Amino acid sequence: MNSTIQKNIIGLICLLLLSLTHEVQAGNPDRQGEAGAYELLMNPWARSAGLHTMSTSMIRGVEALRLNPAGLARINATEILFGHARYLEGTDIKMNAFGLAQKVGKNGTFGFSLMSLDIGEIPVTTTNQPEGTGATFSPNFFNLGISYAHTFENKISVGITLRAISEAIADLSAFGLGIDAGVQYVTGPADNFKFGISLRNIGSRMSFDGQGLSFPTENPDGTLSYDITVNQRSAEFELPSVLNIGMSYDFNMLNNHRITVLGNFTSNSFSRDQLGAGVEYSLKDMFMVRAAYKVEVGLSAERSAEASVYSGLSAGASIEVPVKKNGTNRFGIDYAYRATQPFSGTHNISVRITL
């Protein structure tokens, strides 16, 4: 594929993604809290979490399903990933995730991911028993994503994710569908310059329905005295749409050392935009450390209390080693920490198997 065709493809894809951003009313803090399904913005994977989920241009494999599905295509054969996170330490909320990526043919890759939230047991209270009835309930929050990505001559990769979102308790539930799409472009003498753009969480409105919205009351016309059951309708809410634009550059030294610097801009449809930068050091692609810093655009000092929970510092490390000497099969462990305000930060750990 010649360079003219490659440029036309990436131009068309970027134009398509940008044309969809009429759904993403960028950087609008006045709409804060109007969306739902915010678990779609939570990242269970440690490697990208260590860079504050800003690796739009360089993310690859299963983790790409959470940020830029175009990066799914940049694996050799098969990748299996398990993730666990302690969300906002002190809240007892946990994230659990599983993902699988499989190369199909020379340029295609399919991916699958599942993430759930463990919110724990919540006491049941009523008007007559505000201290609790002795019973508990546990909300079920999970989303399932199926992705496909394709690479054109190792320079341009495009990807799309279809995601099902479910939120439920025993007598109430909501279900929705969302789409993520992205593109990555790689160039430079050693493919060391990377550019990425992704649009996430574009989809159907969601609303809650079920027995939990029903209540008994007396016949309203007053002619006869008997009870009826009334069903309430809940308001619909939108998904938290996000546009990410990022780039990165690899400085390769002595064949064994790599330092990558990256920058990323995030346009949020229901909160302020965010801007950040990060750095990653790699030794033989076996030991990696990383750190990043992210700030909110337009946040004044007087309104600092309104800052996002993840404004500030993140850091992480990875160890990835071959299962056999000189083999392509690898086993890796990733860890990340993200400072939060309030609470005591979020801890992520992932286990990666590459075949």
Using the predicted structure, report yes or no on whether residue 5 has a pLDDT greater than 80: no
Q: Is residue 221 part of a domain?
A: no
Average pLDDT over residues 133-139: 90
Q: Is residue 225 part of a domain?
A: no
Average pLDDT over residues 118-131: 89
Q: Is residue 214 part of a domain?
A: no
Mean residue pLDDT across the chain = 88
Q: Is residue 185 part of a domain?
A: yes
Which residue shows structure tokens 């009826």?
Answer: 228
Q: Could you give the CA distance from residue 236 to residue 212 in angstroms, rounded to a whole number?
A: 16
Q: Is residue 120 part of a domain?
A: yes
By three-state DSSP, how is residue 41 classified? helix
Say which amino acid occupies 239. L
User: 21: domain CATH number?
Assistant: 2.40.160.60
Q: If we measure between CA atoms, which residue out of 155, 151, 245 comes closest to residue 198? A: 245
The set of residues, in sequence order, having a beta carbon less than 8 Å from that of 158 and lying 6+ positions away, is 9, 13, 70, 149, 150, 152, 181, 182, 183
Q: If we measure between CA atoms, which residue out of 112, 209, 114 comes closest to residue 168? A: 209
Which residues are 353's β-sheet partners? 80, 331
Selection from 16-20, 82-86, 153-157, 229-233 with the highest mean pLDDT:
82-86
| Least confident interval from 27-36, 155-164, 181-190 | 27-36
Using the predicted structure, report yes or no on whether residue 302 has a pLDDT greater than 70: no
Condensed to tens digits (0 to 9), the pLDDT of residues 243-279 reads: 999 999 999 988 899 999 999 999 988 888 899 999 9
More confident residue, 330 or 21: 330
Which residue shows structure tokens 């609008």?
Answer: 28
Which residue shows structure tokens 């993140």?
Answer: 314
Task: Give the tokens for residue 252.
Answer: 């390769």
Q: Could you give the CA distance from residue 163 to residue 200 in angstroms, rounded to a whole number?
A: 10
Q: Give me the number of domains the chain comprises.
A: 1
Q: Could you give the CA distance from residue 122 to residue 138 in angstroms, rounded to a whole number?
A: 6
Which residue shows structure tokens 């309430």?
Answer: 232
Condensed to tens digits (0 to 9), the pLDDT of residues 33-80 reads: 778 899 999 999 999 999 999 999 999 999 999 999 999 999 989 999
Q: Is residue 220 part of a domain?
A: no
pLDDT on residue 218:
82
| Least confident interval from 10-24, 230-244, 246-260 | 10-24
Cβ atoms < 10 Å from Cβ of 150: 17
- Give the angle subtended at the CA of 20 by the CAs of 19 and 22, to the nearest 5°: 90
> Alpha-carbon torsion 273, 238, 53, 73, what sign?
negative
pLDDT band at residue 228 under the 50/70/90 scheme: confident
Average pLDDT over residues 285-304: 84
Percent above pLDDT 90 for the chain = 61
By three-state DSSP, how is residue 42 classified? coil
| Least confident interval from 46-55, 171-180, 319-328 | 319-328
Whether 202 and 241 have beta carbons less than 8 Å apart is answered as yes
Domain carrying residue 155: 3-204+238-354
Task: Give the tokens for residue 294.
Answer: 């992210």
Whether 241 and 24 have beta carbons less than 8 Å apart is answered as yes
Condensed to tens digits (0 to 9), the pLDDT of residues 69-122 reads: 999 999 989 999 999 999 999 889 999 999 999 999 889 999 999 999 999 888
The set of residues, in sequence order, having a beta carbon less than 8 Å from that of 291 and lying 6+ positions away, is 50, 51, 278, 279, 313, 314, 315, 316
Q: Is residue 224 part of a domain?
A: no
Give the chain's length.
355
Q: Is residue 231 part of a domain?
A: no
Which residues are 333's β-sheet partners? 319, 351
